[in-house]
Amino acid sequence: IYYINGVLIANKTYSLPSSYAPGGLLDIFTSNFNKMRDDALKEGINLEIISGYRSYADQAYIYNNYVLSDSKSNADTYSARAGHSEHQTGLAADINSLNINFIYTKEGMWLNNNCHKYGFIIRYPEGKVSVTGYMYEPWHIRYVGTPLASELYNNGNWISLEEYYGITSTYNY
């Protein structure tokens, strides 16, 4: 398990063992998400978690199905191999939609411009596939704490964890 400055890293380079299993979204994620969701609702914005924690086995099943239907090279651009998914950390979730056009909805725009205030980042920013290894996912948030999230926000032009920490995200196998 790899940490940088107390931040758990899960990407294509840094994997989690199958035994890493918090069993659900962590309390720090849930409490901050609930506050963000409640504040958003006051502005007429509805935020819902559509996919939260995933076990190693769940991720293996999901990824392998994508490989069967879409090839390994394609699946690797939008789905993590088992042990490499942030969902396994209990600190990440997909919000409202898995459609790239989510960013053009009022919910997507609100999430992009406000989630950092609650300690969340847009984990796979636009135009960063060469750095993160994944396509743009405006719906995928990750809890990192408010100080770091505010640094990565960059006025809505998100900096990825890989850029910030100078790390890679490439499969070695």
Are 169 and 11 spatial neighbours (Cβ–Cβ below 8 Å)? Answer: yes
- Both tokens of 97, joined, read 């939609």
CB atoms within 10 A of CB 24: 12
Which residue, among 53, 30, 46, 42, has the nearest Cα to 120 in the 3D structure?
30
Q: Which residues are catalytic?
A: 137
Which residue, among 100, 29, 30, 88, has the nearest Cα to 62 in the 3D structure?
88
Are 141 and 123 spatial neighbours (Cβ–Cβ below 8 Å)? Answer: yes
Are 92 and 9 spatial neighbours (Cβ–Cβ below 8 Å)? Answer: no
